[in-house]
Each structure stands twice: as structure tokens, then as C-alpha cells.
Amino acid sequence: MVNTARFANVRRFCVCAAAFSLLWTPSGRAHDRPDPELVRPTEVPLPRLEGEEIVIDGALDEPAWLEAALLTGFSAYLPVDGRPAIDTTHVLVWYSPTAIHFGIRAFETHDEVRATLADRDKIEGDDSIQLILDTYNDRRQAVMIGVNPLGQQADGILRDATGLSGVGGGTLSRAYIVDLSPDFLYESRGRLTETGYEVEIRVPFKSLRYQADFVQDWGFNIIRQVAHSGYASTWTRVLQGNASFMAQGGTLRDLTDLRRGLVLDISPELTSSVNRVDAAAGWDVDARDPLGMNVRWGLSNNLTLNGTVNPDFSQVEADVAQIQFDPRRAVFVPEKRPFFLDGIELFQSPSQLIYTRRIANPVGAAKITGKAGKTNVAFLSAADNNEFYLKDLDARYFNALRLRQDLRGQNTVGLTYTDKIDGNHWNRLGAVDGRMVFSKIYSFTYQTGLSATSDAGSVDIAPMWYLSASASGRKYGARFSTTGYHGQFNAESGFIERTDVATMTFQPRVTWFGEPGAGVESFTTGITLDGTWDYDRFTAGTGPNDRKLHGNTSYRFRGGWAGGTSVFYESFKYPDGLYTDFFVQRRENGAPVDTVAYTGTDRLTNLGFWTTLQTPQFKTFSGDLFLVTGRDDNFFEWAPADIYFIDLGLNWTPTDQLRLSLLYNHQQYVRAIDKSTVGLRRVPRLKVEYQITSALFVRVVGQYDANFVDVLRDNSRTEDPILVLDRETGVFAPTVVRRSNNFRADWLVSYRPNPGTVFFLGYGSSLREPNTYRFTDLRRINDGLFFKLSYLFRV
């Protein structure tokens, strides 16, 4: 579909191009030579202050701050790297036996500071500081501690990105990604000043995993995001033309005798809900077993044991409707449950072979996560109930093991194993993977494995592979990747978008950077060549089913405007597996004469473009637009269609406490023959949040999902009606017009002073009406009231 690009006979070309990209040294590496004015110490000994007690209030006025190490001299990272930062930043650092302290003075003289009382991990529209703590000093992944100018928090795990091409969507090219799922317990307060803002942060060592050495060094960096300009700067000089962001960080030296103490977190939970299916029915108050508990115990500085009994459902707001561009691909839903989020980053591998949402209704679970020597360890075992209540226990069992060994430099090798047992059925999977980084700009990532599935004694064994190689010079870059999943490959404990498929992709690009003060700050252009095969066609050496060629650009303008454009030329082979139950009613003079199996056109050819636009973060407003139009596949009837896809996002913050977000998704297929609409889906969504205090907010969400599908016909061929075979009854049923107009309304009161202590009270109602956007004849389908109460006891 339009979100990737594939082209005919790409297979041999991609292999050659990938080899070339790995041998090619981009001329842009001349920019890797440091500018003299940016050379500064990046290894800083930290002062240890005994007996210092400070109040985390956002004012850096205690005597301890006079003895702290001072980190300054930031350099620009995005959109243009290698220059002195426009905005000055001073960061003070010291540590006590039990915590590390940061004091931030961020100067802003060009525009107003953007700051709101945002909920946790929702500060992306604000100015912010991100502290990157590589506590093992291995340059592979790090804890990210983020704050906005008021001290509101965002945290997660930062790691190097793998295989980014640097082209697309107007999104700024970054060599790192941040997983915001994990939460860490720390204190932070901030305040606005006449010259910018100040923030004070205390991170207890109890909240971190780190080395066992008496004296140790930590990898460290700082990222400053300036909202009004969209600029990002870093403490050390970080170049975009380097394959590793982590490798370019600095070091906090000589941390001595860190005292974590006993790490024991106990979080009892009380959750319950009442539901009803329609207005006439009564409330079902016995909706769920209410009591649960999470326990976190630090076995050592490196290893943590977690246990849970009956963990909560963690449904605190309506999910945004997800629209499939390709019905052959599964839809991903992120994990939200606290027990599974702690240490979730250690279960990740190049392919998502461990996906904890597969454990739908756990009775209990335990896991060990951390690091033993140079080996990352993550093991999870869970009993999942097939029934809803504990009293009706019918368990299936999940086990997942992920190991990753650090090798020389930033190279790694890993092992993944999963095991699911459900009565006489079982599924097991094993895979090995690795990553190599060399000569600063080259990286190579791979994974290969086998799955084994047994039903009634028979065992099916099937392979998978993933490979990505990239050269990421500052001006020139290229990426090659290939994946393959056998038709019988089965990852019942993981998430695979699509099986029985093989792909190859090649993406070269070139980037230009404007001079200081230029209207165009950066411009990237490139192409994407991509082929997709049915797995057996690939192994037989046959040409690709789907072939795509995209010409891509992304650009960044002064003032924070960004965008991207792509022109796509595509060719899709008929996917007969989607239409096995389709038949055509042959007619002569309007009367039925026969019913024959549906046979679609062997190949459809598409031509179109997509474009994106992102506004700057204005004082109270920001927005983004994604538009796709042109000729594409009509999957309803397997015929050419004119498509109109629109994603529009608008954000308005009239005060630092009130936020309104409007999302609109529009997906329309218009038949090429007579310009009639065969499919139309429109999903507007409005979210209103009022942050009463830093920990307490009220949220209201309304989402309307209007869907229309026309009567199907053998479009562009015979125009005869399509019939659908019911395999159980053997009856051929004509298709009919399908309309649905669903409205979902949710409200939530949330109090969360820290990640483990929460109170949620929420209500959700699903309604339906016959006519679109009338709101005069809404009928309730179901509704429910839920609450959750959890308290963190930290020993």
C-alpha cells in the first residue's frame, strides 16, 4: 500500500545495492571533523556530597549547587548539527550516597517558553530537558529522565535507532528512539524565570539499575528541546551522520559507593467495574475479580524480581480508532499494564517475538529482568486464564526468555525463546540475533529463528529472518533490509504483522543543510525500492507480488515548519487468499444465469502522492496534516480506485492547564469507472483535558466512527454482483450496503502523584445511530463505570 514503496525486479538490484552501501564511504563524513570552538571536556568527575539535604522546589539556592559540576557549551543537533547551540543551557550535577541530583538553568531570549501542567509522558509540545543516564556505560541503551519547565515528567528508555533511512514525512531524522512505556520514580520541580526556566531533579538510586562496582563511570548526555523553533541541542557534540547516538555521549566519572539499600515496592490494587449491554438491561456488578497486587524486589544493583497476582486492566481512555490500509496486516495495540511495563525494554528484539498483550487475562506472573555481567537477562512466566473469573480457572501458560550479550564495542548477540502451552496445544519459538556498528556510520542488524507448533501430535516447524544494513553519513546514506516469514511460522507469544511473506527494501538518500539563518534549514531526498513476495514465490526465485517505487523528500524550514512529499508508483498482484469466498453472479439482460468463482485482475497499477505538513509549536497551537491521493487498490472489490486519505491533528492549549486535541481521519475509495464511492470511513475524535494540579486531571473524550461500504460488484470487469459464500450453509448471499455510525464517549478522573500510586474513576458509553452525524437518535449499545485504586509502598 501507500505507506511503503516497492518496485519490479528489485531482488537482485537490492542485494547489489546493499553490498555497495556497506562498502561506500559517504563524502559527508568530512563534517565529522570537530569544529575547534566545539571541542570541550566530555568526561566530568562528579562531586559526592555527604549529608546534604535539599528541598526539590525548582529554586537552585541551596549551598550544594555551588559545589556541583557545571555542564555547558551545548551544540546543535536538529535540524542542523555541528554548530553551537542558539539557546544557552547550564546543567549542575552532584550526587549523595543515595541519589543523583540535577539542576537546570535554561536560558531563552528568542521567544516565550512553552510549558503546561501536562500529564506524565505528555510534554512533547513543551520545552523540555532530557537527561540520558547510561548507568552501565556500555553505549547500548539508557534511562531517559525528562522534564518540562514546570517539572512535569516524561521518562523511558533511549536506544539507538536501527535502519532509519532519514527520509519521510517531514519528521526530523534522529539516530535514537525513546520507549516511553517504562516509568521511574523521581522528584522534579520547575519554575519560569525572567531569563528562561529552572528545574530541580532528584533521582534515587533505588529507581535505577546500575553496575556493582564500588567506583564506576556512567555514560551521560543531555538533550534540550526548544518548542517554538523545533531545535534540539545536546551537551556533547552529536552528529547525524553517525550510526550511534549513544556512542557520542559523555561520561560522568568516579561515582563512588552508591547505596541503593533495600529495593522493595509493594503495590496492592483494587479494581472494579459495572457494565450493561443496553438501556433496558440492569448493571452487571460482578464484572471482575477486584483485588490484585504487584511486587518489585531488587535482588541486586543489576537484577529485579517482579511478581503480580490478577493485574489490572489499565483501560483509562478510549483508544484511537486504527484504520488498516492493507487488510493482510494485523493491527498493533500497545501494552499499558504496569507489571508488564517494568523492564519491558529488555524483552525487545529486532522482530517483536515477545508481545505481552498476548497474555490477555493473567491470574499471576513473575519475571526477572536486569544485567548479569555483560548479559542482559529478561525472563517472564505467566498463567493466563481463558475464563473471565478466577473461580472458573482454565489456564494456559506463557514463558518468554530474552538474553543479549555485549560484545566488543557496541556489538551484541542475542537469544529469544518463547513457549506457550494451552491444553494439548503448544507453540515454541527460538531465534538468534545480533547488531554490529563499525567505522561510526555503518550498522548491521539480523535475526533468524524457527517456530514449532503442535496440535493433536503433529508438529509444524517454520523459519523466519530479518536483516538490515545501513550506511548513515551526514550527507549521503543508504539502507537495505529484508524480512521473511514462512506461511506456517507462528509466534503465538509475539506480534508479527503478516506471515507467508518476504520483503526486500533499498533506500538511498542525500541531505543538504542550509547556512545559519537560511530559510530552508535541511532538505533530504531519496527513493525507496521495495518488493513483497508470497514466501513460496520468493524461495522459488519468482518476481515479487507487489512492486513499489517511491520518490521521497523531507524538508525543514526556519521557524519550525516541516513537511515531506512522496510520489509513488506501485504494482500489486491479485491476493487470491482474500477472496476465496467471493463469487460472481453472471447476468444477461439483467437476469441471473450462472454463479462462478471470483477471479480478480492479475495485477493493478497505482500512481499517486502523499504529503505531510507540521506547524511550529506556537504559543497555544500546533497542527499536522497527512494527505494521500491518487490511484490505489480498492480491496473491497479488487479494482482500481481513486483514494483520499486524510489525517489531521490540531492541538490548542489556551492555558497551561487546559488542552484540547482534535484528530480527524478520513479514508475514501472512489471507483475509477463511474466515480461512485465504494468505501468511506470518517473518524473525528475530540479530547479535552484539564490538569487541576500536577497530579490530578479530568479528561473527556468523544469519538465518532462513521463507516460506509457499498454493494460490491465485479468492478471494472463485468460489473456483475458479487456474492459471498457461507461455508457452513453453502448459501451464496448478495452483498448489501453496510453503514455504521458509532459514537463513543468517555470521561476519566485521574490522580497519580507517582507511577505506583494512582486513582482512576472513569465512565465509557458506546452509542449508535442510523444517520450519520445527526445526534438525534442515538441508542446506547453498552456502557460501563470503572475505578482503580493502587498505592505504592516503597520500603
- Please provide residue 239's backbone torsions phi and psi, each rounded to the nearest 5 degrees: -105, 140
Q: What is the DSSP string of 490-556?
A: --TTS--S-SSEEEEEEEEEEEEEPPTT-SEEEEEEEEEEEEEEEHHHHHTTPPPSEEEEEEEEEEE
137: left (phi over 0), alpha (psi -120 to 50) or beta: left
Q: Which range is least confidently modeled, 93-102, 165-174, 469-478, 714-723?
A: 165-174
Tell me what pLDDT residue 173 has: 52
Its pTM stands at 0.86
- Please provide residue 18's backbone torsions phi and psi, each rounded to the nearest 5 degrees: -65, -45
Give the strand pairing for 442-455 and 458-472.
antiparallel
Torsional sign, CA 384, 388, 391, 394? negative
pLDDT-above-90 percentage for the chain: 70
Q: Give the angle 747-749-750 at the CA atoms, nearest 5°.
A: 130
Q: Which range is least confidently modeled, 1-5, 570-574, 690-694?
A: 1-5
Distance CA 500, CA 504 (A): 14
Distance CA 530, CA 469 (A): 15
Q: Which range is least confidently modeled, 57-66, 381-390, 394-403, 551-560?
A: 381-390
Tell me what pLDDT residue 367 has: 96
CB 404 within 8 A of CB 417: no
Q: How confident is the model at residue 319 (pLDDT cuts 50, 70, 90)?
A: low
> 137-181, pLDDT tens digit by residue?
999 999 999 999 999 999 999 998 865 434 443 334 568 889 888
Cell numbers of 573, please? 498482484
- Specify the higher pLDDT residue, 387 or 713: 713
Q: Span 19-36, mean pLDDT?
A: 35
Q: Which helix (H) or strand (E) holds 746?
A: strand 738-754
- Block residue for cell numbers 487488510: 327
Average pLDDT value for the chain: 88
502: Cα separation from own chain's centroid: 23
Cell numbers of 6, please? 516497492
Answer yes or no: is pLDDT of 716 > 80.
Answer: no
Residues sharing a CB contact under 8 Å with residue 53, sequence separation 6 or more, in sequence order: none
Q: Which amino acid is at 510?
A: V
- Specify the higher pLDDT residue, 22 or 760: 760
Residue among 222, 214, 221 at smallest CA distance from 254: 214
Q: Span 635-656, mean pLDDT?
A: 95
Residue among 498, 494, 451, 499 at smallest CA distance from 354: 494
> 536-553, pLDDT tens digit by residue?
999 999 999 999 999 999
Tell me what pLDDT residue 465 has: 97
Secondary structure percentages of the chain, helix, strand, coil, to 5: 5, 55, 40
Q: Which amino acid is at 102?
A: F
Tell me what pLDDT residue 1 has: 41
Distance CA 685, CA 706 (A): 12
Tell me what pLDDT residue 38 has: 42
Distance CA 384, CA 308 (A): 12
> 226-278, pLDDT tens digit by residue?
999 999 999 999 998 888 999 999 999 999 999 988 999 999 999 888 888 76
Torsional sign, CA 633, 637, 641, 646? negative
Q: Which domains does the chain have, with CATH numbers?
A: 27-256 (2.60.40.1190)
